Amino acid sequence: MIAEVASWVAPAATMIAAMMTAANIGSRVTGWGFAVFVAGSIAWSVVGIATGQTNLVLTNAFLTLVNLFGVWRWLGRQAKYDDGSARAAHRSARARVPTLFALGTLPGTKIVGPHGDAIGTIVDAMAGCHDAKLSYVVVSVGGLGGLGEQLHAIDPNLLAFSHDGVTTTLSRADLAGIPTLEPEDWPAMLPTATSAPLEIPLAAVDRS
């Protein structure tokens, strides 16, 4: 009976965990994905014991250790780092100091346009070595799971950063008018076409 239940739990847990970790939508989701992987590897070990498959047992015993490390890495350590940066951002928003923005949260952050809708997703950002200031922010638009997306390099001065997220006065049409980047070929500096001035109050641009 236990082996029969394990034979159903094992593949289900493995598939669910794979989707959770592959989605890469946050340290906690990834950490819980590894926790589900632990359940799956234990279930596979039970199946291996019940069917006399020593190789299956040994493989999943090793995978259980690897998955436990993943739980500690993402649900333990990285989640604490995320909590620390989030608390610093919220405290700075209430204190008389420049408001902080956690750079580690940039990838995956939605950029909210002037009408309150998300017009793109930040992929990464490039900073200058001489002054550590952001040179440009790479934004993904459209596509599904990375397929069919378009990448644009945006002047960070056209973005307003806060502990609540990133906003801009750029419209969807403005963003579509910015030249696209090749995924594997980013420029050494911000293309001049992306630096067209927009009416963004300097006080609204919270740069950390």
For residue 39, the model assigns a pLDDT of 96
For residue 192, the model assigns a pLDDT of 62
Report the C-alpha gap between 141 and 149 in whole angstroms.
6
DSSP 204: G
Tokens of 199: 């009416």
Q: What is the SS3 assignment for 144?
A: strand
For residue 145, the model assigns a pLDDT of 66
For residue 146, the model assigns a pLDDT of 66
The DSSP annotation for 155-188 comes to: -GGGEEEETTEEEES--HHHHHTSPEEBTTB--S
Tokens of 42: 């234990």
Tokens of 187: 């420029």
Backbone region of residue 14 per phi and psi (left: phi > 0; alpha: psi in -120 to 50; beta: other values): alpha
- The total of other beta-carbon atoms located within 10 Å of residue 134's CB is 21
Beta carbons of 147 and 141 less than 8 angstroms apart: no
Tokens of 164: 């609540």
For residue 23, the model assigns a pLDDT of 83
* pLDDT tens for the 208 residues of the chain, in order: 888 899 999 999 999 999 999 887 888 999 999 999 999 999 999 999 999 999 999 999 999 999 999 999 998 888 888 888 778 878 877 877 777 888 888 888 899 999 899 999 999 999 888 888 889 999 999 877 667 889 999 999 999 988 778 999 999 899 888 988 888 889 888 876 444 443 433 334 444 4
Strands (E), the chain: 110-112, 118-127, 134-141, 150-154, 159-162, 165-168, 180-181
Which amino acid belongs to residue 1?
M
